[in-house]
A = this chain, B = another copy of it.
Amino acid sequence: MDVYRDLSDALTKHRVVSFLQHLKKHDLTLNQYSILSWIDQQGPALPVQLAEHLELKAASITYLVDALEQKGLVYRKPNPRDGRSHYVDHTEAGHALVLDKRNEGDDRIMSIFRAMDDEELDMLYVMMKLLRRKLFR
């Protein structure tokens, strides 16, 4: 039990700290990054969708999109099916920033895995799948 908590505390801290460093490096707030990441996965989004996903009010989305637009990471384009709204899409720079985050950290983790022997790797793979299933399904 304590081993579980130690590991999950450490994993969590490691992940959170490296994520916050990434935000700082690119001078983004958490919600600014969330918008970029959401668009990167789901495609162009309407402000009303972003508001629901981020659990923020429409006025706050306007503020966030304005900031991302000024940084050149997103742009607004018309919604052909509804003249009241517009899609928010990412620019090349916006996409690159999210990709950069996705790949970041791989080197370190890969080198740790490479340093393990075959038996360790097999056990690890089995246990991770087991743990994941038990904990999150």
- Cβ of A10 and Cβ of B132 under 8 Å apart? yes
- Cβ of B10 and Cβ of A12 under 8 Å apart? no
Total residues of chain A contacting the partner, CB 8 A:
35
List residues of chain B with CB within 8 A of the CB of A26.
none
- Smallest CB gap from A112: residue in B: B134
Q: Complex formed: what's the CA distance from A44 to B42 in Å?
A: 48
- Using a CB–CB cutoff of 8 Å, the interface residues on chain A facing chain B are 1, 3-12, 14-16, 106, 109-110, 112-113, 115-116, 120, 123-132, 134-136
With A3-B129, A6-B128 given, name 11 new contacts (CB 8 A): A4-B109, A9-B15, A10-B136, A11-B12, A11-B135, A12-B16, A14-B135, A112-B134, A115-B134, A120-B130, A123-B127
